[in-house]
A and B are shown apart, each in its own frame.
Chain A
């Protein structure tokens, strides 16, 4: 089955700097890669996703990249702000079928003022 690994487990960056979180997946059939943000005491919130037919997607300060050959995908947050502090999860699934979403272990992002 699918296995998703995520690094780093914790990340601290200065406000205004960029943050990068990296994930790898094992199942070459996976073709949908969502990213979730989870704040304390809340459920995960979908912030951006990418499908395997594109290599990059951007939404304001957030961008995701996908390298299908290497089975790598990454989340980039630019101009970080205090409200970006949270736990971020990458995930993978097979988009075209009834399939579960497999999550990475999470990255706790802290933004230093």
Chain B
């Protein structure tokens, strides 16, 4: 499978615990995005990387959230001291700037439940 891969698919954690999600983009895609989606809503932008550089962060990304893409390939999203409001689907997408084509392809997401 050469699509965007996210792990784990599901995560249940107790409030106050730290969690980390991983995203493996499509090979050679230099752009990687993290989004959050709550029930009945569209994906909300969190942050964006071009290669290893984090170019933009949403105001939604509080100090408890951190994302990395150390070698410009896979990325991790960590949430520290989780709160019930963090419960959501976390989506990763990747794209490749090739000429005028920048279609973004999404993974299946990681569903986080904070209890």
Contact = CB atoms under 8 A, between A and B. Distances in A.
Interface residues of A, number: 25
Interface residues of B, number: 28
B107 A43 contact: yes
B104 A98 contact: no
Interface stretch (B11-19, B35-43, B63-71, B72-80): B35-43
Given A98-B50, A100-B48, A100-B56, A46 B42 contact: no
Contacts of B102: 32, 93, 95
A51 B100 contact: yes
A8 interface: no
Interface of B: 4, 6, 31, 33, 35, 40-45, 48, 50, 55-56, 58, 91, 93, 97, 100, 102-109
24 contacts: A34-B104, A36-B106, A43-B4, A43-B91, A43-B93, A43-B106, A43-B108, A43-B109, A44-B91, A45-B106, A46-B104, A89-B42, A89-B43, A91-B42, A93-B102, A98-B56, A100-B48, A101-B104, A103-B42, A103-B43, A104-B42, A105-B40, A105-B42, A106-B40
